[in-house]
Amino acid sequence: MKATTTAILLTSTTTAVSGFAFLPQNNNQVRSTTKLNGLFDGVKEAFSAPPSQLDSERETPIDRWMGWSVVSENAPTDSAVPSDFVDSMDEKNYVGVELTKPMGIVFEENDSEYGGIFVQSLKEGGVAAENGKLQPGDQLVAVGTKNVSGMDFDDALGAIIESEGDSTKLTLFRGTAKQFYGPTGPSKEWLSAFCEKGGASPQ
């Protein structure tokens, strides 16, 4: 199941890259925009991935961001959507909270492959637990309008510690580090704009 998921997602990347293989002069553009999206691994694998017929069945955030719509008249079937796919460019998959300090959140750093910190647990009876919106596993993305995704533990936590005011606004991605930092993560443009406007609104 996991292997299938990876194959489908890489397929779209392959489309994007091989689409440009006919326009070698644009190769650099593809590489650099791809880099901005943090796609190193996906692209590396995509270059060696075999071509596939699944291309037209899926539109990923990558396709949308690159401006390639691969959705055809043939409506995608549910089985073509990876079971663990979470759209990282849909605000619905983010949680916004406004909390006073101390928040009672135990954060932990992701594996160094990704960086960034996530909610390890909530202190019982603490501010965050009482607020009830956060869940263990949520990935911290922004503190106020400051992007802290991918930062190491001290820097990310430092942003919370340094924040002033009666309460601090946090935006977290509800998904795994891989879904956010991997090939299906948001584009840099989308994330910048999202952070700039203050992230997810506290529901």
By CB under 6 A, tell whether 191 contacts ligand NAG: yes
Sequence-separated (6 or more) residues with CB below 8 Å from residue 43: 13, 17, 31, 34, 183
Nearer to ligand NAG, 70 or 122 (CB): 122
At 139 the three-state DSSP class reads strand
By CB under 6 A, tell whether 192 contacts ligand NAG: yes
Nearer to ligand NAG, 38 or 104 (CB): 38
By CB under 6 A, tell whether 110 contacts ligand NAG: yes
CB 64, min distance to ligand NAG, A:
16
- Beta-carbon neighbour count of residue 97 at 10 Å? 23
Sequence-separated (6 or more) residues with CB below 8 Å from residue 45: 10
By CB under 6 A, tell whether 111 contacts ligand NAG: yes
Surface-to-core class of residue 121, CB atoms within 10 Å of its CB (0-12 exposed, 13-18 middle, 19+ buried) = middle
By CB under 6 A, tell whether 199 contacts ligand NAG: no
Sequence-separated (6 or more) residues with CB below 8 Å from residue 120: 106, 107, 108, 136
By CB under 6 A, tell whether 147 contacts ligand NAG: yes
Structure tokens, 48: 């060696």
Nearer to ligand NAG, 149 or 171 (CB): 149
Contact map string, positions 63 to 102, toward ligand NAG, x by CB under 6 A = ----------------------------------------
In angstroms, the CA 141 to CA 118 distance is 9
By CB under 6 A, tell whether 10 contacts ligand NAG: no
Nearer to ligand NAG, 101 or 188 (CB): 188
Which residue ranges make up the site for ligand NAG (CB under 6 A)?
Answer: 108, 110-111, 118, 147, 149-151, 176-178, 188, 191-192
